[in-house]
Amino acid sequence: MTYCQHLTELEADISLRFKDLFDLEFEAWMIDPFSCVPEDMNETIQEEIIELKYNEEYIHRFQQDGISKFWQSKDLQMKFPNLWKEMSNVLLAFPTTYLVESGFSFVNHNTQCEKNRLEVCYRGDIRLKLSRIKPDIEYLASKHQYQGSH
């Protein structure tokens, strides 16, 4: 296989695999809500974007925390529900795609390395691998009921 053919196939695979991300439409306010023109926006979010745009606390938080952490703050979600509704569709696309790809990679790796021991459906192997939650082993062990002798 030639390099050009391989790259062409790789491009086709990436285009197919990440089609949903390529089709996402980003509006200017999603990237920088403080430099956009509210008059050009949908009426349902105009009022909220104007209120957000001139709020000094949120301007400072956006500059300090960055775009991703800014949009994930709980108080922003509650105070600007229409903006959050629009933005959440964009934010959810990225971790979801990442987790799906990570899950496929994990299953692929395990099927190659641990064919005899793999119980993906029953043991929760994938869930443990993809979760950022660390189990509290000491707490779980303290709740375990010891088996008495018969």
Residues 17-68 have pLDDT tens digits of 777 767 777 788 888 889 888 887 888 889 999 999 999 999 999 999 888 7
Predicted confidence (pLDDT) per residue in 64-116, tens digit: 988 878 888 888 889 999 998 888 877 776 666 666 667 667 666 666 665 55
Amino acid identity of residue 65, one-letter, is D
Distance CA(33)–CA(67), nearest Å, equals: 10
The pair of three-digit structure tokens given for residue 119, joined into one six-digit string: 């119980």
Residue 107: what pLDDT?
Answer: 66
